[in-house]
Structure formats: structure tokens, C-alpha cells
């Protein structure tokens, strides 16, 4: 009877041992998550820079037109400024989103050495922080979009 239970016990031990990462594996996962987060934030910042540069060019053109004409140019300038505000708000949101997601991914990877309730709590904390940061990013973007709407 004991011989029949021995293979099952060995399999159970192997499964339990495989569920917990070593500190070295966790460190590698955390480093990879940080690299991914940094790459995503850099890409979002580059996208924002391109959007802002294009928007600033449009605003400069509209200002030049305004200097040469009158009310029509003022309207064009105001529309260009509002458009630039919208694009900047969306680009800022993308950066905040990439940063928050990156921080959450790093935090979740750091939970890899924990087990059971501690691991669950660690992951829940990371997800709660992500939700809060994303809510803040949405609120900030929406406030900027309202300001752009009233700018026109």
C-alpha cells in the first residue's frame, strides 16, 4: 500500500516545488518587466514628442496666418491650439498608462518568490495600485480634454 502512495507523494512534492520561483528567477523576471516597461514608456514619450511637434507646427502656422489676417485666422489659431491640447492630453495619457502598467508588471514579478496568501495579497496590491493609477490618468486626460473643448 505504501509503495502505491509513494509515486503520488513524489509527484505532489514536485508540483509544489515547481510553483515557487527561486529568488534568481524572480530577479530575472523583475528585470525583464522593468526593461519592457522602460521600452513602452520610451515609445510613448517618442510618440508624444512627434505629436506635440506636429501640433506646435500647426499652431505656429495658425499664428502666422493670424498675424496676416484677422478673425478667420484667430478661429484657425484657436482650433489649432485646441487640437494640440487634445493630442497632448492623449499622449500624456498613453505615457501615464505605460508607466502604470510597467510598475504593475514589475510589482507582480516581484511577487514570484511568495506563495499562498502572501502572493495573492502581493498581486492584489499591484493590481489595485494599477487601477488607481489608471483612474488618475483617465481623470487627468479628461480634465485636459474639457479644457481643450472650452478653448475653442
For the chain, which residues make up each domain, given as ranges?
Answer: 24-151
CB atoms within 10 A of CB 3: 6
CB-CB neighbours of 25 under 10 Å: 13
Give the three-class secondary structure for 4.
Answer: helix
- pLDDT value at residue 2: 44
H or E element, residue 21:
none
Model pLDDT for residues 127-144, shown as the tens digit of each residue:
999 999 999 999 999 999
Residue 143 has a pLDDT of 95
Considering the entire predicted model, what is its pTM?
0.62
Instruction: Tell me the per-residue pLDDT of 9-47, one tens digit each, with 9 for 90 and over.
Output: 554 444 445 567 788 888 888 888 899 889 989 998 998
Amino acid at each position: 500500500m505504501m509503495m502505491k502512495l509513494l509515486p503520488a507523494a513524489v509527484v505532489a512534492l514536485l508540483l509544489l516545488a515547481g510553483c515557487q520561483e527561486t529568488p534568481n528567477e524572480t530577479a530575472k523576471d523583475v528585470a525583464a518587466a522593468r526593461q519592457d516597461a522602460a521600452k513602452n514608456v520610451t515609445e510613448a514619450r517618442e510618440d508624444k514628442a512627434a505629436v506635440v511637434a506636429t501640433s506646435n507646427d500647426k499652431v505656429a502656422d495658425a499664428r502666422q496666418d493670424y498675424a496676416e489676417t484677422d478673425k478667420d485666422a484667430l478661429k484657425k489659431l484657436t482650433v489649432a491650439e485646441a487640437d494640440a491640447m487634445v493630442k497632448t492630453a492623449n499622449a500624456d495619457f498613453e505615457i501615464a498608462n505605460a508607466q502604470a502598467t510597467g510598475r504593475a508588471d514589475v510589482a507582480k514579478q516581484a511577487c514570484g518568490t511568495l506563495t499562498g496568501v502572501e502572493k495573492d495579497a502581493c498581486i492584489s496590491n499591484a493590481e489595485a495600485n494599477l487601477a488607481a493609477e489608471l483612474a488618475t490618468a483617465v481623470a487627468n486626460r479628461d480634465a485636459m480634454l474639457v479644457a481643450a473643448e472650452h478653448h475653442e
